Amino acid sequence: MVDTALLQAFDLLADMLANPRFDPDDLTLEQGVIIEEMKMIGDTPDELLNELFHAAYFPGHSLGRPIEGTEQTVSSFDRAITAAFHSAAYSPRNLVVAAAGNVTHAQLVELSTQTFGGGGNEAEAASAVALSPATAAPILIERKNELEQAHLIIASPWPSARSEDRYAASMLGTVMGGGTSSRLWQSIREERGLAYSIGAGGNTYTDIGMFTIYAGTSPAHLDEVLDLSLQELRRAVHEPVATEELQLAKEQAIASVLLSLESSSSRAGALARQEIVHGRRISPEEIIRSIEAVTPEDMQRVARSCFITPALALGALGNLNGFSVDRARLEI
């Protein structure tokens, strides 16, 4: 039987989404909150470096801009500007409705059609397509002498969310820096005690990806942390991942998939993301088969295609005491 609260809940959420008031007083209050959030990010070194680095890595593209905007842009939003953006961005052609739990597909389609209509035409949809980003390969050194720690990012190209290599890339990211058993964690934190925070992973978008290593360390250890990180990149390029390492990464990934099935919100979120990115549902069984099919050779191929590149980039922030990096040092 369908949940008895579904009709009321759908009506409430749909009304909030489709018919917001954008009261001028509410907007003024929220602008103040967002501006304070920006100041908080400026006082959080790892988040500040992340914003500065993305701006340099994705120059002139929305991926390089801070999600919260700037104080100048946020302060400029009045009711007319906000309502116009909402009308364009939250139109039916851009909406994906996903649900998991005690609900039928037919009823969800009926509710969505009654509330939002049948969507927009192809010409309207085409106008919303964003341009693919052109990446740079910055070496960004930002000195902030009042900081106790130095913060480091190393980045490289990575398979996109739609790439056939996305599962091999995910396994490689896990082996490199996805937890306490990863290579970077063991080499830099456990064996040498050079950093409290160290990790790596891939950010994937529909048309591009970016692999990043992040570390927070003492300025005196920054050079050694950088060299050890580059050493692990070279190791991934020149040596196939051991069977035991790959198996552990697969088990972690499959456990995550199975655990997500216990949560209706996780299921609904996954359905929405899959529809937006792939245009179809990808079953847990298909995901698990794809994970299990990854080989060490697949991972080494991804490492060679992504890490052997003139596009390797670096960002550092803190009391850097003359720290500098040239392009030759980043060669893998």
Looking at the fold, whether 148 and 272 belong to one and the same domain comes out as: yes
- pLDDT value at residue 126: 44
Looking at the fold, whether 109 and 145 belong to one and the same domain comes out as: no
Looking at the fold, whether 249 and 322 belong to one and the same domain comes out as: yes
Instruction: Name the domain count of the chain.
Output: 2
Establish if 203 belongs to a structural domain.
yes
Name which of 54, 228, 53 is nearest 141 in CA terms: 53
Give this prediction's pTM: 0.90
Looking at the fold, whether 118 and 199 belong to one and the same domain comes out as: no
Gyration radius from the chain CA atoms: 23
φ/ψ region of 279 (left if φ > 0, alpha if ψ in -120 to 50, else beta) reads left
Looking at the fold, whether 188 and 299 belong to one and the same domain comes out as: yes
Looking at the fold, whether 40 and 171 belong to one and the same domain comes out as: no
Establish if 132 belongs to a structural domain.
no
- pLDDT value at residue 127: 47
Looking at the fold, whether 257 and 322 belong to one and the same domain comes out as: yes
Establish if 83 belongs to a structural domain.
yes
Q: Which one of 127, 158, 192 terminates a domain?
A: 127
- pLDDT value at residue 239: 97
Dist. CA 301–CA 165, nearest whole Å: 9
- pLDDT value at residue 174: 97
CATH number of the domain enclosing 148? 3.30.830.10
Give the helix ranges, DSSP H, for the chain: 6-18, 24-42, 45-57, 71-75, 79-89, 105-116, 122-127, 166-177, 183-184, 222-238, 243-260, 264-278, 284-292, 296-307
Looking at the fold, whether 297 and 267 belong to one and the same domain comes out as: yes
- pLDDT value at residue 216: 96
Establish if 263 belongs to a structural domain.
yes
Looking at the fold, whether 29 and 62 belong to one and the same domain comes out as: yes
Looking at the fold, whether 227 and 295 belong to one and the same domain comes out as: yes
- Find the domain containing 288 and state its range: 139-330
Looking at the fold, whether 99 and 202 belong to one and the same domain comes out as: no
Q: Which one of 92, 127, 162 terminates a domain?
A: 127
- pLDDT value at residue 120: 53
Looking at the fold, whether 231 and 286 belong to one and the same domain comes out as: yes
Establish if 133 belongs to a structural domain.
no
- pLDDT value at residue 123: 47
Establish if 278 belongs to a structural domain.
yes
Q: Which one of 87, 106, 127 terminates a domain?
A: 127
For 159, counting Cβ atoms within 10 Å of its Cβ (0-12 exposed, 13-18 middle, 19+ buried), the class is buried
Question: pLDDT tens digits, the chain, 332 residues: what are they?
Answer: 457 788 899 999 999 999 999 999 999 999 999 999 999 988 899 999 999 999 999 999 999 999 999 999 999 999 999 999 999 999 888 899 999 988 899 999 999 999 887 655 544 444 455 678 889 999 999 999 999 999 999 999 999 999 999 999 999 999 999 989 999 999 999 999 999 999 999 999 999 999 999 999 999 999 999 999 999 999 999 999 999 999 999 999 999 999 999 999 999 999 999 999 999 999 999 999 999 999 999 999 999 999 999 999 999 999 998 899 999 999 99
Establish if 40 belongs to a structural domain.
yes
- pLDDT value at residue 146: 92
Q: Any long-range contacts for 116-125 (C-beta under 8 Å, 24+ apart)?
A: 116/14, 116/18, 116/92, 117/92, 118/92, 119/92, 119/93, 119/95, 120/91, 120/92, 120/93, 121/93, 124/91, 124/93, 125/93
